[in-house]
Amino acid sequence: MTVVGSKLGASYRGVRVVFCSMIFSVIGRMTSGILGVALFAAAGISAFAQDDAAFRYNRLLGRGINLGNALDAPREGAWGVTLKADYFRLIRKAGFNSVRIPIRWSTHASTAAPYDIETGFFQRVDWAIGQALSRNLAAVINIHHYVEMNQDPVQNLPRLVELWKQIALRYRNQPKSLMFELLNEPHDQLDDERWQEVFPTLLKAIRDSNPDRIILIGPAYLNTVDRLDKIQLPPQDRRIIGTFHYYKPLQFTHQGAFWLNDSAPWRGTRWVGTPQERKELRNDFERAATWSKQNHRPLYLGEFGAYREANMEDRALWTRAVAREAEKWGFSWSYWEFCSEFGAYDAAARQWRQPLLNALLDKE
């Protein structure tokens, strides 16, 4: 999920309403640093798995944060966030291991074959990747907010394939600590069955130039944890990390969110860590861990966070609970997000929101 600022257009609000309806449908159905080997042993994953490249790079991702609402906006700055070199320095200094950089390539590429990506935009992404890697931060780049692909997968698949071919070719010589995520939150017409048909084509487009690159793939229905068991990853490709997003309970994490028409009555929803609340969290992550073990795949919690209108004490409590539950099962994670509506950092005040930072990095 991507959350945006007040300048967001009505078209994107529609996408977020789709998110709301979809996530409710699936809900009803269903260290500093590098994570240690002990975490994976605790999750019941074999010693052999610990030697796999995907598991090693998943530990490298460790604790991360999303640089959201910047390069994933229609134009950088349109949603109130423009990336700065100092942001990468602050993230590393605070103790994070990685960044996830959401990128909206589709608004920076031609709409006719060969779908060339703008040179200037490529250079801006080059800069962001360089900022991360030069500070010893692992980095995940993805294709974010390709709205048309979700609406019409058949028509837009050739373009998406060509976008990935260009991206993969440009970054083929980058260190392996740069990882690719195929597509953020497939949804709408890109359902379980269609996504299962589509993603192998994208995977091949990357593998032609990056045979050893770590690639992250999540399920359809907005990468919700409930749909992990619906995706079948190719057993012969062991350089894949599974990914999912977590925003439960939505009434808490999205209370008052302006892009959701029905979220106003949710204002004041609390999350205080009752036994039932923690049980629901634990059950969701235990189910994810079962999928990880059965499929011999590491997992990356690519997004989780609570919107700014929630009580800060509750936000910090929920954030801490989710991060620690992820680490208990050996998942790497990336908080949504750095400095916007869910932000752990206050860009205007130029300081971390300490309760959230402490919760993320397990400090008192």
In the annotation, is 303 catalytic? yes
50 burial via Cβ count (<10 Å: 0-12, 13-18, 19+): middle
Catalytic residue chosen out of the listed positions 185, 325, 337, 341: 185
Give phi and psi for 304, each to the nearest 5.
Answer: -165, 145
Catalytic residue chosen out of the listed positions 76, 181, 277, 303: 303
Residue 240: DSSP 8-state: E
Give phi and psi for 100, each to the nearest 5.
Answer: -110, 130
- Return the axis-axis angle of helices 85-94 and 119-134, rounded to nearest 10°: 30
Sign of CA dihedral 172, 106, 305, 322: negative
User: What three-state secondary structure class fits 112?
Assistant: coil
Burial 226-249 (b: 16+ CB within 10 A, else e): bbbbbbebeeeeebbbbbbbbbbb
Q: What angle do CA 64, 57, 55 make, to 5 degrees?
A: 115
In the annotation, is 327 catalytic? no
The closest alpha carbon to 56, from 41, 38, 39, 35, belongs to 35
Q: 332-335 and 63-66 as β-strands: parallel, antiparallel, unpaired?
A: parallel
Q: What angle do CA 136, 343, 258 make, to 5 degrees?
A: 145
Kind and range of the H or E run holding 64: strand 63-66
Number of residues in the chain: 364
The answer for 268, left when phi > 0, alpha when psi is -120 to 50, beta otherwise, is: left
N-term to C-term CA, the chain: 28
Q: State the catalytic residues.
A: 185, 303
